Chains A and B, each alone.
Chain A
């Protein structure tokens, strides 16, 4: 029999702040964490804004000897994972080593790549730093999480572009539900705020020069963010028996592949992943009280996503708030599925709807209640958190409020 799965720990770093309390306060207040990029010189770029993690001092979290081996992206993942486990309490106690797992997004250590290649190509250095490989490897973050938290069971990374962290949480959920694991750490970290990657995103012509305005008619593209989200997922009976605080119950995971295009999204396929999540959760569409949208604020994504929501929810969409927190903490790429899931859990637990900030003008192609410009109180029973990645890899998580 399938086990129920509790969310017992949360961790986050984002442009809204460097822990879950700051994240929650920012969501409620409608804080926009997007601003002029400070971490690097953007004078040669057209896009001068991003959603950076501010005030993060690596030395406060890592020994000097560790730091040379841990890319910024992995630093975020480890710190968020530590927060999640600290929040969950002694979740590993009495659990067999092979029944605690870790699944995180596969994120390239772009800072290592950028620094090393600049020295090699631009500065004529005879060789890159010897730690370029361990810092850059996409499985680095999950390895560091296992080393840091003493995890010895199944552990691996999942790559599905901007759905990576959602696929990671969903896979961990299924592993706990099936009885393979008692406890899992899951999530993802990402920092693509490097010269090379910002230039590359700019070249793709998807970046907004001024703000992230999901579902607004005058939306002009996405804003790159950085950060990490992490959760502790745990067998619900076990969590209850040890007296853990249960933030929410994760109940469904739906996936689909568009099989169409390497960047453009597909409405039918996005809808299918939401339907599969509902089916997996045993929930009717009418049971959903909030959707945390992928909502990147590109012209095509938001229109396609609104259409997909219409296909799944029909008339219920008129009563279903759908918002995009990317308007607040940017598009954190491989971390976004985890940060959005943390956001969704907080919305359920605290009884509020996170806003879509920067909204100025209704778009007939995005006929949604996107919770424009201010958070609202709402008692939500169940919610979806959607990730629709480049390359058509979709992952949708369904989560329910847990009343002890």
Chain B
């Protein structure tokens, strides 16, 4: 999770705003489960990321495990975003 990457920074800012957690807590190794949000909040966050960035986060992708970290989430979204840009470019 390259925090100086503007795409990553945008994703982090979006998650922080939507979930209502301090951006400083969104470090790569923090498990999402420790952000003080419920499993439903995570599902909604994924839905909002999909809507906001026009991507589809697959059900069987890296976010399907039980020990997802902030880094895994952000990197996955950044990858999907990059793949989508490459397709439309």
Contacts and interface: CB of A to CB of B under 8 A. Distances in A.
Interface string B48-61: 00100000100000
A234 B41 CA distance: 38
Nearest to B47: A130
B86 interface: no
Contacts, number: 17
A127 B47 contact: yes
A129 B43 CA distance: 10
A126 B44 contact: no
List 5 tightest A-B contacts by C-beta distance, closest first.
A130-B43, A130-B47, A130-B44, A126-B56, A129-B47
A69 B40 contact: yes
Nearest to B43: A130
17 contacts: A65-B41, A68-B44, A69-B40, A126-B50, A126-B56, A127-B47, A127-B50, A127-B56, A129-B47, A130-B40, A130-B43, A130-B44, A130-B46, A130-B47, A131-B40, A131-B44, A134-B40
Contacts of B47: 127, 129-130
Interface of B: 40-41, 43-44, 46-47, 50, 56
Interface residues of A, number: 9
Nearest to A125: B51
Nearest to B44: A130
A68 B47 CA distance: 13
Contacts of B43: 130
Nearest to B38: A65
A131 B47 CA distance: 10
B21 to A, nearest CB: 13
B48 to A, nearest CB: 10
B37 to A, nearest CB: 10
Contacts of B40: 69, 130-131, 134
A65 B56 CA distance: 24
Contacts of A65: 41
